[in-house]
């Protein structure tokens, strides 16, 4: 049965749940053979993320096994006090296509504290002719009214656009995992997972676009039953409660490795 989101008719408030993926302690993951069939030059992603405990020495979140396509990693962050136990950092979004390996955004301007919910909003545009791709990443902590950005207009990639990204893994042998992977593991919680391409790159620098996803309290807004409230079209993947097996996007569902339970917390609490 499809699980529907809950919006109060009285005050417009929105309630969702989250999935807890214990990739480090229990080798859990969602797995898919590809992102989708159509390759292209753009992608948009967003999710709410919480890391409940320190996972020192490990990183990872969305990992294609041969480093093609979208990669979102979490990694210990040195906050200047040599205390890595209470800070992590989103290293960046890495993308690759047709034999070109990805490029990293680098470190965000602030650490993401253990135990806090954050909205992550990112996009990449490889479509421009003769110039490097444009990549942006925005983060907003639950309880904060301001989003923080890191935007790299000249990523460390030696190829100018347009570049076609290998979302269908046509080279073979690749698997997309959200969670446990051969290389990187971390325990985390996710909700409101949104992923779309190959021709959609939301400009998250526009505060109006961000407010479609996260409100001024840093909580999720909800994108409609099929995720179409962001752009007007159903995305490839939309899992409002983090359940990628039963997501309401247009793409096929993920399979579940291990028993992934709902988390005790939610970004809408």
* 241-to-130, 192, 263, 269 alpha-carbon distances in Å: 40, 6, 10, 13
Quick one: which of 3, 8, 14 has its CA closest to 218? 14
**pLDDT for 63:** 55
Element (H, E) at 210: helix 207-210
**pLDDT for 7:** 39
**pLDDT for 220:** 97
How far apart CA 155 and CA 176 sit, in angstroms, is 23
Spell out the per-residue pLDDT of the chain, length 269, in tens: 344 444 333 334 799 999 998 887 888 888 888 778 887 888 888 999 888 876 644 455 665 554 445 556 665 544 444 344 444 554 444 443 333 344 443 343 445 677 889 998 888 887 888 777 777 778 898 999 988 776 554 454 556 667 777 677 665 556 677 877 665 677 889 999 999 988 889 999 999 999 999 999 999 999 999 999 999 999 999 999 999 999 999 998 899 999 999 999 999 99
How far apart CA 226 and CA 29 sit, in angstroms, is 23
**pLDDT for 100:** 39
DSSP assignment letter at 160: P
**pLDDT for 248:** 96
Q: pTM of the entire structure?
A: 0.83
**pLDDT for 98:** 35
Instruction: For residue 37, report the phi and psi dihedrals to the nearest 5 degrees.
Output: -75, -35
**pLDDT for 5:** 46
**pLDDT for 68:** 47
**pLDDT for 42:** 85
């Amino acid at each position: 049965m499809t699980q529907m989101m809950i919006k109060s008719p009285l005050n417009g408030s929105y309630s969702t749940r989250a999935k807890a993926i214990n990739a480090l302690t229990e080798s859990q993951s969602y797995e898919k053979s590809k992102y989708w069939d159509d390759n292209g030059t753009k992608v948009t992603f967003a999710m709410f993320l919480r890391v409940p405990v320190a996972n020192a020495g490990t990183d990872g979140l969305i990992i294609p096994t041969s480093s093609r396509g979208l990669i979102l990693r979490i990694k210990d962050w040195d906050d200047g006090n040599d205390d890595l136990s209470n800070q992590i950092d989103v290293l960046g979004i890495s993308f690759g296509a047709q034999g070109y390996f990805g490029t990293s955004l680098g470190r965000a301007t602030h650490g993401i504290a253990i135990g806090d919910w954050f909205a992550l909003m990112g996009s990449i545009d490889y479509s421009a002719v003769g110039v490097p791709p444009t990549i942006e990443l925005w983060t907003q902590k639950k309880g904060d009214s301001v989003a923080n950005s890191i935007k790299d207009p000249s990523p460390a990639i030696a190829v100018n656009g347009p570049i076609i990204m290998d979302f269908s893994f046509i080279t073979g042998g690749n698997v997309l995992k959200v969670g446990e992977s051969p290389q990187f593991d971390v325990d985390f919680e996710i909700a409101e997972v949104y992923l779309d391409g190959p021709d959609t790159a939301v400009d998250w620098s526009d505060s109006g676009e961000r407010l479609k996803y996260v409100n001024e309290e840093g909580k999720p807004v909800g994108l409609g039953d099929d995720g179409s409230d962001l752009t007007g079209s159903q995305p490839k993947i939309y899992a409002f409660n983090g359940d990628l097996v039963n997501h309401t996007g247009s793409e096929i569902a993920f399979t579940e490795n291990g028993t992934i339970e709902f988390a005790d917390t939610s970004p809408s609490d």
